[in-house]
Amino acid sequence: MEWFFYAYAFAKAYIKPTFDPIEFFIDVILPIPVENPFTYAVNRDEAAFLKPGMRVAVPFGKRKVYAGIVKQVHQTAPVIYEAKDIEYILDERPIVTPEQFKLWSFIASYYMCTEGEVMRAAIPSILLLESETVVKGTGIAADDTQLTDDEFLIYEALQHQSEVKIEQIISILGKRTVFPAIQSLLEKGILSLQENVREQYSPKLVKYVKLHSDYESDAGMQQLMEMLSRAAKQRAVVMQYYTMMAQTQQPIKVKELQRKADATSTQIKSLIDKGIFELTEIREDRIQFSNDTEETKALNP
């Protein structure tokens, strides 16, 4: 398989295709949340070789490169944009079957997501190389004589830093056709992919205020009222706080206090800045589960 990558990369880089009046295109699913596949231009030989389900490296935007999945080979040019050329072909044979394409389409429709998002979840990360993918060395010593020039430069870079992005490798090699060398090093066990897992769930933080302990006693309350004698609105906010505490004996939410006291966020912030209120943030689950359980009903005999 390795010979295929380098033969194709060499042909792509150094052999200029002859003019062909017939244009060929492929629709490519990218592992990003976009609604439709993107169309890229290929030459006649590439169109004859490519099959749905094969991976191709394609440019996206100004600098990014993705490994996408060919969905269709055709001769219809896109209408609203000019099709870019692919970078190169990554596979000798399809890695996604027609049945899997149908399943992806069903999942995307059922869960109201895109086929690109389904693809990212379905394809092993080692096959989803992209310009922002991070690679690192595995610690396996490599025989320099068994590495190509590009492989050696990547291997050497990882001797000086623990990990690099593929976009950095593009800069190191001075060309965009870096996937064949990376793929080969992955297969040799010299490289591995760094999984960057981003937490999509962010906890809900609710702001609460608590009266400073200096003002919790009757004497402290009297002192506070005198202190706020010339700040009628702030005094009203504090009085509302006392009322709410007497009713609930529970922590007071900032928004609830602001609403019931008909106050502004600036007025409450002033009380916090003066040290009268103390602000805390409490994490609350976005999904609330009731502790109440229904009494189990006895079954009729």
For 119-168, the DSSP string reads HHHHS-GGG--BTT-EEEE-S----GGGS-HHHHHHHHHHHHSSEEEHHH
Percent of the chain whose pLDDT exceeds 70: 82
* Residue listed under structure tokens 């996206």: 60
* Spatial contact of 126 and 146, defined as CB atoms under 8 Å apart: no
User: Hey, do 1-130 and 131-198 end up sharing a CATH topology, with the first three levels equal?
Assistant: no
Is residue 73 within 8 A of residue 46, CB to CB? The reply is: no
**Mean predicted lDDT score pLDDT of the chain:** 82
Best CA proximity match to 50, nearest among 6, 99, 8:
8
Question: Per-residue confidence at 76, pLDDT binned at 50, 70, 90?
Answer: very high
Q: In this predicted structure, what is the pLDDT of residue 145?
A: 83
CA distances, 60 to each of 30, 65, 86, 243 (Å): 9, 6, 10, 59
| Residues 104, 114: Cα–Cα separation, whole Å | 9
Per-residue pLDDT at 185: 87
Hey, what amino acid is at 60?
F
Specify the 3-state DSSP secondary structure of 6: helix
* pLDDT, tens digit, 9 for 90 and up, residues 199-252: 444 556 788 988 888 888 888 888 888 888 888 899 999 899 989 988 888 888
Q: What is the pLDDT of residue 71?
A: 96
* pLDDT above 90 (res 6): no
* Domain limits, the chain: 1-130, 131-198, 204-284
CATH code for the part of the protein at 131-198: 1.10.10
CB of 70 closer than 8 Å to CB of 51 = yes
pLDDT, tens digit, for every residue of 136-192? 888 888 888 888 888 888 888 888 888 888 778 888 888 767 778 888 888 888 888
**Do residues 65 and 132 touch, judged by C-beta distance below 8 A?**
no
Q: Which residue has the tokens 């008909």?
A: 262
pLDDT tens-digit map of 263-275: 888 889 889 998 9
Beta-carbon contacts of residue 198 (< 8 Å; ≥ 6 apart): none
pLDDT value, residue 122:
92
Distance CA 245, CA 115 (A): 52
- List of residues 6+ apart from 208 with CB closer than 8 A: 251, 252, 253, 254, 279, 280, 281, 282
pLDDT (0 to 100) of residue 300 = 58
Structure confidence at residue 118 as a pLDDT band (50, 70, 90): very high
> From CA 101, how far away is CA 107, in angstroms rounded?
10
pTM of the model: 0.51
1-130: in CATH 3.40.50.10860: no
Q: What is the pLDDT of residue 19?
A: 53
Confidence at residue 4, expressed as pLDDT on a 0 to 100 scale: 52
